[in-house]
Structures are given as C-alpha cells and as structure tokens.
Amino acid sequence: MLMDAWPLCLEHLSAEFPAEDVQTWLKPLQPELRGDTLVLFAPNAFIVEQVHGRYLPRIHELARHYGLGSVVLEIGSRRERVAAPATTAYAPATATTAAPEPFNSNLDRHYTFDNFIEGSSNKMGRNAAWMVTQSPGDRAHNPLLLYGSTGLGKTHLMSAIGNEMRRLNPLARVLYLRSDEFYNHFINSLRAKNTEAFKRQFRSIDALLIDDVQFFAGKEATQEEFFHIFNVLFDGRQQIVMTSDRYPREMEGIEPRLKSRLGWGLPVAIDPPDFETRAAIVLAKAAERGTHIPNEVAFLLAKKMRSNVRDLEGALNTLTARANFTGREISIEFAQEALRDLLRAQQQAISISNIQKIVADYYTLQLKELLGKKRTRSLARPRQMAMALAKELTEHSLPEIGHAFDGRDHTTVLHACRQIRHLMETDGKLREDWDKLIRKLSE
Ligand code: ADP
Ligand code: MG
C-alpha cells in the first residue's frame, strides 16, 4: 500500500506543476521505503537542491496524506543500494556498472549550431566554439571566452557547444550554469556548510559552461571559489567555456589573478551582425516558427533593428503575433503598420542633431567644436564619424547632412563617409567607436 504512495503523489504533482518541470526535476527521483519514511533518490546535487527548494513542502503534504511518516532526499540510486549521503554530489562516472545515471546538464536544447546563423561578426566565435566540440579540453581553446554586448548570441553559441558535445557523446558530462546560478548554489552551500560537496561536483565533469561571468564582479568569495574550480578543471584538461559582456582586461571588480585566467586560452569577440546577417537571422527565425515573411520585410527589420539580435527577434515576434491575431498576411505595408510605434520611436532618437550630440559627448568635445571649422585631427575625425553615422542611420541626403554640419558641401560628406568606411577596415579602435556609437544611437 505505502509503496504505491509515490506514483500517487507524482500524479498530483503532475497536475499541479508544469509538465516540463515534472519531467526535469520529479520524474528522475527513485522512491524507496524505509519503514514509513519515503526516501527519494536523486541523480545529482542540483536536482536535490531544486526539489528541496521548490517541491519538497508539497511532497511532504501529499506523502502524509497517503499515510507516510516523512520524506527524505538523497543522492544516489535505488539500484545501487549505496545510499550516499546527500552531501555527495555527482558520483564519479566509473563508480558503478549500473546503467548510466541521467546527468542534468541544465542546457537549453533549442540552441544548436544548426540554427545559429554565421556572419562575419560571429565567424571566429562560431569556429572556436566548433573546435571545442571536436577536441574538448585542448589547450588551443581552453578556456574559451566569448565576449561581446548583450543579445549577440553568446549564450546561443555556448549552449550549442554543450548540445553538440552531448550529441557526439550522450554520456558527456557538460554542465551549463549562468553565473548567478553558480553564485546561488555557492551561497547555499556556504549556508548549509557543505562547500566541499559544492566543489566536488565539478571534479568529474567534462565541460563547464559559465555564462556572463561579469556577474562575479565585486563578489569576492564567489570569485575565489570559481578560481579554485577553474584551476582544478584546467589542470585536469577539462573544458571551460565562459561568456562575458566585455574583454577581461576591461572588467571591473574582478580579481587580477582571475582576470588573467579568463584570458588564458582563447578570448573571441562576438560583434554586432552586419545587415545581411541580420536579414538572414530574421528569415531563419521566421522559418523556425513556421511563418512565411517576404524578403523585403526581413530587410526592413534588419535595417531598423541594428544592434541586438534579441530585439530583432522581438520585432519579428510582434509581427507574427499581430499577423496571427488579425489573420492578415505579412506584407511590407502590414509590417510598417504593425511596427509603426517601434519604428517611429527609433527614428526620433536618430536625428542628425542627436547624432551630433552623442558623437560630441563620446569624444568629449563641445558641440560647437564638432561643427566648427578647425581641421585638427582630433576634431576632424569625430566630425567625419558624425557625418558617416548620419548617412548610415538617417534617410537624409548628402546635401541635407552637409547643411546640418554648419553648411558644408555634399562632397565633404561623401568624402567623410568614404574615409570612415576605409578606416574601419584597418583601424580597430575606430571600428570599435563606430560599433559603440551605433549601439548608443539605436538602443
Ligand atoms: P547573448 O547571450 O549574447 O546576450 P543570446 O545568445 O541570448 O545573446 O541571443 C539572443 C537571441 O538572439 C537568441 O534567441 C539567439 O538565438 C538569437 N541569436 C543571436 N545571434 C544569432 C545568430 N547568429 N543566429 C541565430 N540566432 C541568433
Ligand atoms: Mg547571454
């Protein structure tokens, strides 16, 4: 009778919690009776933690209802009959001959190499990520650090590494953790006085993927802990992949010795995608959702949503939702209408005078210096930059732009555009300024 209690509990829980959660956290639990105590075996420490935090109170209630005395969570499996204490994390892969226990990699399965669109902005990152899947742990790309602004596909690429590793080897122990998850697990282990177990669980993994390490800034104890885990993995030739929103050297609040390690292997920048890549991403995402959108609509979105793929996707979502709701086809007119408010808000932000102001601020110049006649390099270059940005971001003609720059000739504007385009290919700093300014202006 009591033995039936867990299936009955599970039935209730399935009705009360989302199917996916039940699948991930509750189905892996294996029940065993010890007297009138229900022992639930979990395959690893993360599942114990999740179940403990989210479901245990409810499981207790249900168990009592079905006549059980109490419920305890343990790490291990019923078959092994070696109930490891709950402080032991993942059992080493070689410890048992029983069927391999499921390893919760915490990965988002949706992010793969197949649905990652390659362009010049992310080509190096994609190649590096792919190399990791082919020879994890190789010194040439360990650790791999993908860095770049938000919404450019870092998490997507990092998850693709994990998913590909698991496709190639289903037993690969790949663990994905956002930095805030790492932090929370660590803090919980401090509170529960089992930091040893926290550390131990990283020892037997093949790859550790830590997302958004800039989150560690100012959190010294967490950095210290991560530093040690990093060293153990690195020495064991286990693969480490990290992402951050900036180059390690520019990170503030990160300890120097950790900072230096972040840059040890291969740091690769992910840049904002160019127009063609943005358009290809829109078309691919639409196809993924089973929505047909004409090329010209993809071009409109790609033209207007410049700096962040997440926003680009957001605009596509708005569009498809509106189309489904009204039952209309997605034509260019429909897109212009559906996205009118969004596009107008953007257009207002991007006026010539706003560009001048932002560029002047960026180079810490007075507006009248930027617009004035002096031709010293420190003034001329920002001036050209502002003109080229005005051409790139607004619909104004060359003469109109020239006029807005203290009545200059349209040939001056044309020259500025050519000059900047040329310099962008050779001058990394200028390229960076351009990207930053575009981002400032189109956000
Ligand atoms: P980040 O981690 O850099 O902030 P994400 O990986 O979360 O960015 O990407 C944001 C969204 O944009 C995701 O839905 C992701 O799938 C999508 N995305 C970004 N770059 C690409 C790309 N090159 N191809 C396909 N989708 C992309
Ligand atoms: Mg991310």
Ligand 2: centre distance to CA 109 (Å): 15
Q: Which two tokens stand for residue 9?
A: 């509990």
| CA–centroid distance, residue 117 to ligand 1 (Å) | 9
- Ligand 1 atom closest to residue 148's alpha carbon, by position in its atom list: 3
Classify residue 99: in a domain, yes or no.
no
Determine the pLDDT at residue 65: 77
Is the CB of 282 within 6 Å of ligand 1? no
Which 3 state secondary structure label does DSSP give 72?
strand
Alpha carbon of 312 to ligand 1 centroid (Å): 10
Per-residue pLDDT of the chain (443 residues; tens, 9 = 90+): 666 788 888 888 887 788 878 888 888 888 888 888 888 988 877 788 888 888 888 888 888 877 788 888 888 777 544 333 343 333 333 333 444 456 889 999 999 999 999 999 999 999 999 999 999 999 999 999 999 999 999 999 999 999 999 999 999 999 999 999 999 999 999 999 999 999 999 998 999 999 999 999 999 999 999 999 999 999 999 999 999 999 888 889 999 999 989 888 889 999 999 999 999 999 999 999 888 999 999 999 998 888 789 989 999 999 998 898 888 999 999 999 888 887 777 777 788 999 999 999 999 999 999 999 998 989 999 999 999 999 988 889 999 999 999 999 999 999 999 999 999 888 989 988 998 898 888 76
Q: Are 242 and 262 in contact (CB under 8 A)?
A: yes
Alpha-carbon span 204 to 31, nearest angstrom: 26
Q: Are residues 128 and 222 in the same domain?
A: yes
Domain ends where: 217, 235, 269? Answer: 269
Greatest CA separation for the chain: 92
Q: How many CB atoms lie within 10 A of CB 40?
A: 24
Indicate which CATH number applies to the domain containing 413: 1.10.1750.10
The confidence score (pLDDT) of residue 132 equals 97
In 4-64, the DSSP E strands lie at 30-34, 37-42
**Side by side, which strands form the sheet with 174-178?**
174-178, 207-211, 239-244, 144-147, 266-269
pLDDT, position 101: 53
Do 140 and 184 lie in one domain? The reply is yes
Q: Which of 221, 242, 269 is at the close of a domain?
A: 269
Tell me which ligand sits closest to the C-alpha of residue 210: 2
Considering the domain architecture, whether residues 279 and 246 belong to the same structural domain is answered as no
Q: Are 385 and 359 in contact (CB under 8 A)?
A: yes
Rounded to the nearest angstrom, the gap between the alpha carbon of residue 223 and the centroid of all alpha carbons in its chain is 20
Which of 310, 311, 312, 443 has most ligand 1 atoms within 8 Å of CB, for mutation?
310
| CA 342–ligand 1 middle distance (angstroms) | 21
> CA quadruple 403, 409, 410, 416: dihedral positive or negative?
negative
Exposure on the CB side of residue 82, measured as CA atoms within 13 A: 7
- Residues 80, 127, single domain; the answer is no
The three-class DSSP label of residue 146 is strand
Q: What is the pLDDT of residues 63-103, one digit of tens each?
A: 887 778 888 888 877 754 433 334 333 333 333 344 445 68
What is the rounded CA–CA span in Å between residue 68 and residue 35? 9
Rounded Cα distance, 334 and 348, in Å: 21
What is the Å distance from ligand 1's center to 153 Cα?
A: 3
* Rounded-to-5 percentages of helix, strand, coil across the chain: 60, 10, 35
Closest residue by Cα to residue 437 from 391, 402, 389: 389
137 touches ligand 1 (CB under 6 Å): no
Q: What is the pLDDT of residue 91?
A: 37
The verdict on 148 and 159 lying in the same domain is yes
Tell me, yes or no, whether 308 and 377 share the same domain.
Answer: no
> Measured between alpha carbons, how far is 13 from 26 in angstroms, rounded to an integer?
9
Residue 233 sits in the same domain as residue 207: yes
Strands 37-42 and 30-34: antiparallel
Atom from ligand 1 closest to the CA of residue 270: 3
**Amino acid at site 15:** A
Domain CATH number, residue 290: 1.10.8.60
Whether residue 361 sits in one domain with residue 309: no
Atom 19, ligand 1: which residue's CA is nearest? Answer: 153
**Is the domain of 54 the same as that of 67?**
yes
pLDDT of residue 83: 36
CA-CA distance, 133 to 131, in Å (whole number)?
A: 5
**Angle CA 46–48–53, to nearest 5:** 95
pLDDT at residue 1, as a whole number: 63
- Whether 116 lines ligand 1, by a CB cut-off of 6 Å, is yes
Let me know: does 103 contact 46? Beta carbons within 8 Å: no
Nearest CA to ligand 1 atom 6: 153
Residues 133 and 221 in one domain: yes
363 lines ligand 1 (CB under 6 A): no
Q: Are residues 153 and 192 in the same domain?
A: yes
**β-pairing, 144-147 with 239-244?**
parallel
CATH number at residue 82: 3.30.300.180
Which atom of ligand 1 lies nearest, measured to the CA of 284?
25
State in Å: Cα 178 to ligand 2 middle. 9
Q: Are 52 and 147 in a shared domain?
A: no
CB of residue 271 inside a 6 A radius of ligand 1 = no
Number of domains in the chain: 4
* DSSP, residue by residue, 342-397: HHHHHHHH--HHHHHHHHHHHTT--HHHHHSS---HHHHHHHHHHHHHHHHHS---
Instruction: Determine, yes or no, domain membership for 18.
Output: yes
126 lines ligand 1 (CB under 6 A): no
Last residue of a domain, one of 333, 349, 365: 349
Tokens coding 286: 């639409």
Give the pLDDT confidence of 324-345 residue by residue, as tens digits: 888 899 999 999 988 888 777 7
Residue 339: domain span: 275-349
382 lines ligand 1 (CB under 6 A): no
Distance (angstroms) between ligand 2 centre and the Cα of 6 equals: 38
